[in-house]
Amino acid sequence: MPTEADETILGNPSMTEVVEDLSLRKARACYEAIQLDESLRDRYSAHVIIGADTIVYTDKILGKPEDAEDAYNMLDSYRGTYHYVVTGISLIDVDSGASDVMSEITKVWCVNYSDEDIHSYLSLAEPYDKAGAYAIQGYFGRYIDHIEGDYENVVGLPFYRIEEKLKPYL
């Protein structure tokens, strides 16, 4: 259910605090929309809302690139080194409003690719709607040396963490 949530980051939170807060804002926006509409409350009774947000972190938070220059700078910063992919996940029980918030961190190591490699990648549509300007499961995957952590987290959602938290609801 698409919702509108304020994604303004205030202060100097850690990478996990940022994604946990943003995921909870998104989940709460959905929860509030459901609570305001009796037909939605009935429809989604006994359901759990999942809100999520993902960032890439080097020495700062990287979201989706604003333009090709921003994407280039992001990709340039990963060459021959590592960065973190961090996802916050919030679960809210529609009936009780009880929530659970968690995050997953994966360390991603990149090979030392060239400027030409970056420019070639930027000619594709892939980097522009992804946090950190790449999709590990796409063309950019050839530049990943290895990861430490959950591959699904880098793709977009650490499902195994969610599955564990949802077991009591099944």
What's residue 114's pLDDT?
A: 97
What's residue 10's pLDDT?
A: 85
Domains in the chain (CATH in brackets) are 15-169 (3.90.950.10)
Average pLDDT rounded to a whole number, residues 78-85: 97
| Other beta carbons less than 10 A from residue 163's beta carbon | 10
Please give the positions annotated as active site: 53
What's residue 169's pLDDT?
A: 74
Residue 101 or residue 167, greater confidence: 101
Residue 94, pLDDT above cutoff 90: yes
CB proximity list for 22: less than 8 A, separation 6 or greater: 5, 7, 9, 53, 88
Q: DSSP label at 122? A: H
Q: What percent of the chain has pLDDT over 90?
A: 84
Q: Which helix (H) or strand (E) holds 119?
A: helix 115-122
